[in-house]
Amino acid sequence: MTKILVVEDIPLNMEFLLEILKLQGFDVDGAKDGEEAIQKAEKGIYDLIIMDIALPGIDGFEAFKIIKSMPSYKIVPVIALTAYAMTGDRERILKAGFDAYASKPLDVPAFLKILEKYKGKV
């Protein structure tokens, strides 16, 4: 079963994402900010990370860099989930190394399509 770490600072958004992912058969865990995401990544292994970009303290870009520098996370895909949806934001985020991009408010069918390629991977 694919184990996913969701990094999201807004409790309602976190609850919504965890529920969607559980209904799709994913094993999920949550982190409320970049610092907690880094700590959880150090303690466990996730198959996929969904990372909000605008986080308090360590933002999603910095948390992404730190996590991807860990040997066990070099090839783990990270999906950016963000309200940054202006012209050029998607390209900037993908250029930073994220594997995929989903904008808020979340388009659930489009998000599920992104997740399909990760389902069932160990």
The pLDDT, as a whole number, for residue 40 is 98
The pLDDT, as a whole number, for residue 106 is 92
Alpha helices in 1-122 (DSSP H): 11-23, 34-43, 60-68, 89-95, 108-116
Of the candidates 110, 97, 20, the residue with the CA atom closest to the CA atom of residue 65: 97
Average pLDDT over residues 19-36: 96
Q: Which domains does the chain have, with CATH numbers?
A: 3-116 (3.40.50.2300)
pLDDT > 90? residue 15: yes
pTM for the whole thing? 0.94
Instruction: Name the DSSP letter for residue 106.
Output: P
